[in-house]
């Protein structure tokens, strides 16, 4: 029997990767440089450090990169609620859900960004548990964050369902032994998951309702 629905945060509740990328684009432009839109898929699921080390053009002077990073820490992270891109179907489902299953959130993102977002969306008090990157050693696709979530919820892997948005997240959930569904938005597609063991896809609040009723 399924007793909990566990939601990823970025890409399922908030389009955090896209919001961050748009901020970087604006910041680079302000510093007389450019971040090409085609690079966005390469930034998904990566830490900001990984984005700058692995994705940002090596030809951009380090002085400009550091200036953009400074802007990120002084503007984006300190005013994170200003840059939220809510994913309405998930948020509305969580707000309206009246069933007995526990609702939880796990995220590779830090609590300084996750908790303000959950409060802004009005769903923080609807959740039984929130697990962020500070609570684990290894990031997804390592399954540690989902194993910890199960432990804190006092549930077996067969008693939970995960909703993710990326192959990296699906890998983390399935390695933990938890069945996983994928929320599809404007920045992912079913073709991204051809080689991943997903149980199904969610497009809307109605899909969430049907899933919760069926489990």
11 and 44 co-located in one domain: no
- Per residue in 53-68, pLDDT (tens digit) is 999 988 899 999 999 9
Among residues 25, 53, 82, the one where a domain terminates is 82
Tally of structural domains, the chain: 2
25 and 78 co-located in one domain: yes
- For the sheet with 4-8, list strands across it: 129-131, 102-106, 4-8, 160-164, 179-183, 200-202
Structural domain span for residue 93: 4-15+84-214
Say which CATH number the domain at 11 has.
Answer: 3.40.50.1000
Return the pLDDT at 187.
Answer: 85
In this predicted structure, the answer to whether residue 41 has a pLDDT above a threshold of 90 is no
Q: What is the mean pLDDT of residues 6-23?
A: 95
Q: How far apart are CA 118 and CA 106, in angstroms?
A: 12
Handedness of CA 127, 133, 137, 140 (dihedral sign): positive
pLDDT band of residue 47 (cuts 50, 70, 90) is: confident
107 and 24 co-located in one domain: no
In this predicted structure, the answer to whether residue 51 has a pLDDT above a threshold of 90 is yes
pLDDT band of residue 203 (cuts 50, 70, 90) is: very high
pLDDT band of residue 155 (cuts 50, 70, 90) is: very high
Return the pLDDT at 184.
Answer: 95
Return the pLDDT at 147.
Answer: 98
166 and 73 co-located in one domain: no
Q: What pTM, to 2 d.p., does this model score?
A: 0.91
What mean pLDDT value characterizes the chain? 94
20 and 78 co-located in one domain: yes
């Amino acid at each position: 029997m399924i007793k909990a629905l566990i939601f990823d945060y970025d890409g399922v509740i908030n389009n955090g990767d896209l919001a961050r990328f748009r901020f970087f684009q604006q910041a680079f432009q302000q510093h007389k440089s450019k971040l090409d839109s085609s690079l966005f898929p390469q930034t998904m699921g990566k830490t900001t450090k990984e984005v700058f080390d692995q994705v940002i053009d090596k030809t951009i002077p380090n002085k400009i990169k550091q200036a953009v990073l400074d802007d990120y820490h002084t503007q984006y992270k300190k005013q994170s609620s200003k840059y939220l891109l809510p994913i309405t179907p998930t948020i509305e489902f969580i707000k309206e859900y009246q069933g007995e299953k526990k609702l939880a959130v796990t995220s590779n993102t830090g609590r300084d960004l996750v908790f303000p977002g959950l409060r802004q969306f009005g769903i923080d008090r609807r959740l039984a548990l929130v697990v962020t990157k500070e609570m684990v050693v290894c990031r997804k696709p390592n399954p540690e964050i989902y194993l910890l979530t199960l432990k804190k919820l006092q549930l077996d892997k067969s008693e939970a369902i995960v909703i993710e948005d990326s192959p990296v997240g699906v890998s983390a959930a399935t390695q933990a032994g938890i069945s996983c569904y994928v929320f599809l938005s404007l920045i992912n597609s079913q073709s991204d998951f051809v080689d991943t063991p997903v149980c199904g896809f969610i497009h809307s609040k109605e899909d969430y309702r049907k899933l919760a009723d069926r489990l």
